[in-house]
Amino acid sequence: MAAQPAQLWGQASDMDILAAASDRFPEGISVKAVEGDSVYVDRRGLTLYGMDVRAVTGRTGKPFVYCSGPCLDEWQPLLAPPGSTQAPVSPEFGGSRIAPGGEDAQKASDGGDWTVMPGPAGPQWTYKRVHLVFTRKGDRPGSTAHDGDDSYTWNTLKYVPPVPEFAAPPNVEARFIDGAYVLADTQGNLLFSPKAKSCAEPCAGWLVFASGMARRGMGEWAVRQGEDHAQWVYGGKPVYRIRSSNLADIPAEAVLLNP
């Protein structure tokens, strides 16, 4: 069998959690603010942890039964309701392929985030197809003490709300920072406008968010032609950017753009 590319299992399991596909959760699962993060919890209020199958595939070759035996003395699988349709496991995880978005996948998923997979104690919930969902036995509601355990095999399931729909130039995107979505360019540079209606100083020293070849606006976006450049305008105010994704770097006289 041909060797798998190294990057297949090279994605660190402590990377940023992807945004939720929807705000629909399986019955009994909700979101709660815990120690500065929004995390998924079960009906008892216990924090949900994802066992990242990418982190254990290389160890056993059977990631969906990795937590068995003594592991089940510490971790409790989040079992799916009886009769739930299971999604076949993809080849890289040791099973058969399921077509993304296929009929079987829709039957076994909830809003695009939650899927029923075969687990060590029977069909159980999996988050985004790579995190088998567990709670820690003996834990207390509100605890995240085991986040990152076993070389990031176990990670709290943090909730990032779905990306809001908005009209914007193609080089503008929404980024989730400090609990809210803000607008940035595709390099991650934050976008902002002056608080004041008119902008002389200090706007003269700010980096203009140029519109390039665009001459037409969209939604709340318009193009303002200057003497030597064309600039994006949002909500009637000129748009600037800062070479940073740190909210603390935004000038005091400015306000971040939100979708």
In a domain, 166, yes or no: no
In a domain, 59, yes or no: yes
CB 170 within 8 A of CB 176: no
pLDDT given for residue 49 in this prediction:
96
Could you read off the pLDDT of 188-225 as tens digits, one per residue?
999 999 998 777 666 878 999 999 887 788 889 999 88
Question: Are 150 and 216 part of one and the same domain?
Answer: no
Range of the domain at 114: 6-156
Q: What is the dihedral of CA 66, 71, 72, 75, to 10 degrees?
A: -100
In a domain, 32, yes or no: yes
Q: Which two tokens stand for residue 258?
A: 């939100």
Question: Are 211 and 127 part of one and the same domain?
Answer: no
What is the model's pTM? 0.74
Question: Are 94 and 191 part of one and the same domain?
Answer: no
Q: What order do you get walking across the sheet with 237-238 strand by strand?
A: 221-225, 230-234, 237-238
**β-pair type (122-127, 114-119):** antiparallel
In a domain, 65, yes or no: yes
* Structural domain count, the chain: 2
Question: Are 149 and 178 part of one and the same domain?
Answer: no
Instruction: Choose one of 95, 124, 156: the last residue of a domain.
Output: 156
Could you read off the pLDDT of 95-133 as tens digits, one per residue?
433 333 333 333 444 457 999 988 888 899 999 888 999
Q: Which two tokens stand for residue 228?
A: 């030597």
Q: Which two tokens stand for residue 98?
A: 């399921």
Could you read off the pLDDT of 231-253 as tens digits, one per residue?
999 999 999 999 999 999 999 99
Question: Are 21 and 128 part of one and the same domain?
Answer: yes
Instruction: Choose one of 103, 125, 156: the last residue of a domain.
Output: 156
Question: Are 13 and 102 part of one and the same domain?
Answer: yes
Question: Are 38 and 117 part of one and the same domain?
Answer: yes
Distance (Å, whole) CA 31 – CA 38: 6
Question: Are 134 and 197 part of one and the same domain?
Answer: no
Question: Are 137 and 198 part of one and the same domain?
Answer: no
Could you read off the pLDDT of 20-62 as tens digits, one per residue?
988 889 999 999 998 888 999 999 999 999 988 888 877 777 7
Q: Is the pLDDT assigned to residue 6 strictly greater than 60?
A: no
Query: Given pLDDT bands bounded at 50, 70 and 90, which one contains residue 86?
Result: confident
